[in-house]
Amino acid sequence: MHTNVNDTNYSYIGIIMLACLFAPVFVYASVDSDADGLSDEQEIVYQTDPHNPDTDGDGYKDGEEVEYDYSPLLGEGKHMNESDADKDGLNDWLERWFGSDMGKTDSDGDGFPDYDEVMKGYSPASTTSTRLFDRKVVVDRTEQRLNFYVDGVKIHNFPASTGNPGTPTPDGEYHMMRKVAKKSYVGPGYDLPGVTWNVEFSPMYYIHTAYWHNDFGKRTHSHGCVNLREDDAKVIYEYIDETVPIVVTGETPAGFVVGT
């Protein structure tokens, strides 16, 4: 007996059709071992347990938590922006936004920490040396806060004290003119030596520390400068440069205190 040519062709076609039918399943299937809505690969990204549908044991599945920006690691109704799994200063929500690894402090392995790269406007997920992200400082006089934005996202929200009603911090858009690590402020009725982390943004107007009070975020307290806590002022001093707009907005509280 000889094999019918047509039969042979049909069986080849059948095999090819079967292969086409199953190939996508084998190639694209994403395994979710614990059926919590996150694939095993995503569980690596979110630092969760791929074999426990509720990693933090708070009654909500890992996948549900991530979908609504809750942390699958912390429980207690905490959001992703309150979790920093690798403790590198960039919370989990920001790591997802900037595409960096929630479990690594130097995601792209270029020697520069994720946090430093983001604060300087570079991508923490790519070794490209081009600055990718716009940055901005916004001083909100109404709320008495200083916010630091990268790529339109608020990285820091520091309590501040701006100028009192009689000597308000002037509104407008500025840029850093110079930095001075330590300087004295002397004027009518005040003599303040050894003030740290000074960033001049308009002639005679600075962002700086203020060791003589602790009213940051609560009330105005200056002759026009923007007062910050020591650690916060140091962050601004370290990461700001001439390319970062400093925008002063809002209204100076008439009664000195926020909300008045």
Q: Which residues sit at the interface with Ca ion, rule CB under 5 A?
A: 32, 34, 36, 38, 54, 56, 58, 60, 84, 86, 88, 90, 106, 108, 110, 112
Q: Among residues 117 and 215, whose Cβ is nearest to Ca ion?
A: 117
Name the residue nearer to Ca ion (CB basis): 108 or 200.
108
Q: Could you tell me if 45 and 37 are in contact, meaning their C-beta atoms sit under 8 angstroms apart? A: no
Question: Is residue 225 annotated as part of the catalytic site, yes or no?
Answer: yes
Half-sphere exposure of 251 (CA within 13 A, CB side): 7
Q: Which is nearer to Ca ion, 15 or 153 (CB)?
A: 153
The encoded tokens of residue 3 equal 């094999």
2, 20, 156, 225: which is the annotated catalytic residue? Answer: 225
The nearer residue to Ca ion, 114 or 215, going by C-beta atoms, is: 114
What is the Cα–Cα distance from 35 to 59, expressed in whole angstroms?
14
Residue of 208, 213, 221, 223 marked catalytic: 208
SS3 225: coil
156 is catalytic: no
Least CB distance to Ca ion at residue 113 (A) = 6
Name which of 60, 138, 128, 64 is nearest 99 in CA terms. 128
Query: Would you state the structure tokens that stand for residue 7, as one six-digit string?
Result: 């039969």
Q: Measured between alpha carbons, how far apart are the two ends of the chain, in Å? A: 101
- From residue 241, how far is each of 98, 159, 238 by CA, in Å? 21, 21, 9
Q: How far is the CB of 225 from Ca ion (least distance, A)?
A: 32
Active-site annotation, residues: 208, 225
